Structures are given as C-alpha cells and as structure tokens.
C-alpha cells in the first residue's frame, strides 16, 4: 500500500494552446522553468485539444516526433487530460466543456487519438491514463438511449486500448471524472453506471477487458464540493471493483457561516467569473443541501435568503493547494489530506496530478507569477504527500 512513485504531474490545461507549436512553446515558457525551480523530476500532464491531436496524427510518425520534442525538454508524460475537447481558454467555456459527450462519435475518436499519442509519450515500464468527461452534462437534453450509447462507445474504446497494448506494449486506461451537475457526479452514480457497463460487457464476454482498461478519475475538489464523505467514497468505489486510475489533487473554496461573514461573501463574489462553470453547493443547518449550477455575484451580495441558514458554501473553483485560506475564505484542504491518506490504502497506485487550471481567472494579483505560483503549489503537494 503506497502512493505512486512516478514524478508528480501537473495538468497543462492551465496553459492555452491549439497547435503543436503553441503546446511546445508553453512547455518552454512554463513547464521547463517550473521543473527547474521545483528541483525534482516533474511530469507534464498534457492537455492536447482535438485540433492538436489531429495535427500530431496527420502523419504516421507524428506522435513519435511529438514525443521526442517532449523528451528533449527533459519532461515525461504518463497521463493526458482529454476532458476539454476544444478551446479551454475561450472567453466563455462554461457548460461547453462537456461537449461532445460520450454518446457522440467525436468523443470516442478524440480519445482514441489521445491514447495513440500517449503510447509514444509513455516512459518504458510506465502505464498511462486519460481523464475524460463524466458522460455529459445533466442540464442538457439527452436521448432516451443516451446511457446505452455511452456504454457501447466505452466498450469500443476498451477494445481499442487492448489492441493498442498488444501493438505497443503500453497499458493505457481511461479515467471517467465525476463532476457536480454532470451525468455522473456522485459516487453512487459512478457505481450504478459501472454496474450497467459491467453487465453489458459481460453479455459481450468483454468484462475482463472493460475492467482492465476503464475506470475513474477522482477529482478531490469535485467530491468535496458535493459534501461527500471522501474516504468513504474512495472505499465504496474500490469495493465496487472500479479502478481509480487517476487522482486530481485539487482544492475547492469553502465559506463557513456566509450570512455572518459579509467580508467572505464579498470576497467570494470576485470568484464569479465568465469563463468557467463554478457549481456551488450549500450545506444547511438542517443537514440538507441546495445546489446552484453556477456561482453569481447576485446570489452572494443580494443575498439569497438561503444563505441565512447555510453553514458552509463550497464552490467548484480550483484554487492553489498551498492555500488553506484565501483571506476571509477557507478551502477544502482538509478533505484533500483525508483523500490522499485513503488513496494510500489502495493495493495499487493511481496517477497523481495537480490540476489547478483557473490561474488566469483568479481575482486580484493571485494570477501573477505563474511559474512561481505553480512551483509553490507543486512543492506543497510534494510536502503533503511526504507526510502521509
């Protein structure tokens, strides 16, 4: 029972890039200097949008050449973030990040392309992972057979990953990432979906392949925002024979007693911004939860009457994990500690990746000095892991 011995990874979806040249330029501008300051081996958890994957795979050897460019920079990569398909740095991303969903062939083909590229990037002896959308967004309309279509496409992907392993010798696993307000957001929804997936795979005599190549990405911020029992959640997933292939080491915002903390509400209102979706959940004194699909200034500053009965607000806004407080705001850092301690109990070692993609939209001067900020965050993550 141990944590991954691979170099800690950080997700490069924090950096914009829709061409190979832009991706390599961002590695030179940010990732290489971060590794130098971090003073330890560092993995680049690459985000390669669909146009980048298309460009890389435009030739038969494109993925080989791209991997060589990454290695020239003394970087390794063992995990990709294939959640955002298109431009993750548009002025407005919000719910569009969940498109295409897993019922659409574009999502399958993109993920297969990511796996092909990752097979060239993977160091010898290492296994790979690819995080992806939790099927789709609950607020969108879906066809009656949406779940079945997703299952069929995921089984096709599992078969592809098996063939890729036979061809290249590289094991690459998918990691479905639950997120608030998505088709899979709660632990019990993940388990119910995998039960359906396993039943269908068994009927096709493919259960072993599906269990080997399909699993979960556990984003600690997401499940903390849901007010889930984090250690219990991880153990339930394990009991359901769902492999956790990837852990996102991530921190959410928490505001305790928001009615009494006007400074906190005022500060939190600055985090309501137009690019990303910031799902917000309040924990009432009664023990009930209420849910808001996206944080707004009006909700906090009007304020909404529910705030008077709210004990805690948690917001899906990834904030640096070296911050246990943000002025009058708190974070879910304690949940992060509990999660990683529980991950250490597993009899295998999921990939570990710091994923704070929101640096560009942090209010005030927090967004300044990205190399220094990401380095501090990675060092804090390493220190935390070393204490477990």
Contact indicator for 179, 185 with CB cutoff of 8 Å:
yes
Q: Is residue 181 part of a domain?
A: yes
Cβ neighbours of residue 159 under 8 Å, at least 6 residues apart? 206, 209
Q: Is residue 215 part of a domain?
A: yes
Q: Is residue 43 part of a domain?
A: yes
Cβ neighbours of residue 348 under 8 Å, at least 6 residues apart? 243
Q: Distance of alpha carbon 3 from its chain centroid, rounded?
A: 18
Output DSSP code: residue 75. -
Output DSSP code: residue 4. -
Tokens of 239: 């009991």
Q: How many residues does the chain have?
A: 388
For 185-218, the pLDDT digits (tens) are: 999 999 999 999 999 999 999 999 999 999 999 9
Q: Is residue 382 part of a domain?
A: yes
The pLDDT tens digits along the chain (388 residues) read 789 999 999 999 999 999 999 999 999 999 999 999 999 999 999 999 999 999 999 999 999 999 999 999 999 999 999 999 999 999 999 999 999 999 999 999 999 999 999 999 999 999 999 999 999 999 999 999 999 999 999 999 999 999 999 999 999 999 999 999 999 999 999 999 999 999 999 999 999 999 999 999 999 999 999 999 999 999 999 999 999 999 999 999 999 999 999 999 999 999 999 999 999 999 999 999 999 999 999 999 999 999 999 999 999 999 999 989 999 999 999 999 999 999 999 999 999 999 999 999 999 877 669 999 999 999 999 999 999 9
DSSP string, 31-47: IHHHHHHHTS--EEEB-
Residue 108 sits in a domain whose CATH number is: 3.20.20.150
Q: Is residue 87 part of a domain?
A: yes
Q: Is residue 303 part of a domain?
A: no
Number of structural domains, the chain?
Answer: 1
| pTM attached to this predicted model | 0.98
Residue 120's domain comprises: 9-250+331-387
Q: Is residue 267 part of a domain?
A: no
The C-alpha torsion from 260 through 262 and 267 to 272, rounded to 10°, is: 90
Cβ neighbours of residue 380 under 8 Å, at least 6 residues apart? 320, 321, 322
Q: Is residue 324 part of a domain?
A: no
């Amino acid at each position: 029972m141990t944590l991954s011995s691979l170099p800690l990874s950080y997700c490069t979806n924090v950096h914009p890039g829709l061409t190979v040249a832009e991706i390599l330029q961002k590695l030179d501008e940010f990732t290489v200097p971060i590794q130098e300051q971090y003073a330890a081996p560092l993995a680049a958890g690459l985000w390669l949008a669909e146009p980048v994957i298309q460009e890389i795979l435009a030739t038969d050897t494109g993925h080989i050449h791209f991997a060589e460019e990454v290695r020239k920079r003394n970087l390794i990569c063992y995990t990709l973030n294939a959640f955002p398909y298109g431009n993750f740095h548009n002025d407005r991303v919000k719910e569009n990040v969940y498109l295409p969903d897993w019922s659409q062939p574009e999502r399958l083909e993109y993920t297969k392309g990511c796996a092909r590229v990752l097979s060239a990037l993977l160091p010898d002896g290492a296994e790979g992972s690819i995080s992806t959308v939790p099927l789709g967004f609950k607020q969108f309309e879906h066809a009656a057979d949406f779940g079945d279509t997703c299952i069929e496409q995921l089984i096709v992907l599992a078969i592809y990953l098996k063939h890729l392993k036979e061809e290249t010798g590289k094991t690459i696993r998918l990691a479905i990432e639950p997120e608030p307000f998505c088709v899979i957001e709660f632990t019990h929804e993940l388990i119910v979906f995998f039960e359906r997936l396993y039943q269908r795979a068994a009927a096709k005599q493919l259960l072993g392949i599906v269990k080997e190549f399909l699993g979960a990405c556990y984003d600690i911020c997401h499940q903390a925002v849901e007010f889930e029992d984090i250690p219990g959640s991880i153990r339930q997933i394990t009991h359901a024979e769902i492999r956790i292939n990837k852990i996102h080491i991530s921190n959410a915002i928490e505001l305790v007693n928001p009615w009494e903390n006007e400074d906190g509400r005022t500060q939190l209102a600055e985090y309501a911004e137009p690019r990303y979706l910031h799902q917000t959940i309040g924990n009432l004194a009664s023990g009930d939860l209420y849910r808001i699909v996206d944080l707004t200034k009006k909700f906090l500053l009007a304020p909404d009457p529910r705030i008077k009965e709210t004990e805690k607000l948690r917001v899906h806004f990834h904030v640096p994990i070296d911050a246990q407080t943000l002025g009058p705001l708190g974070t879910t850092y304690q949940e992060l500690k509990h999660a990683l301690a529980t991950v250490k109990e597993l009899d295998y070692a999921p990939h570990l990746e710091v994923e704070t993609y929101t640096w560009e939209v942090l209010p005030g001067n927090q967004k300044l000095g990205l190399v220094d900020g990401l380095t501090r965050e990675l060092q804090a993550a390493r220190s935390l892991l070393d204490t477990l």
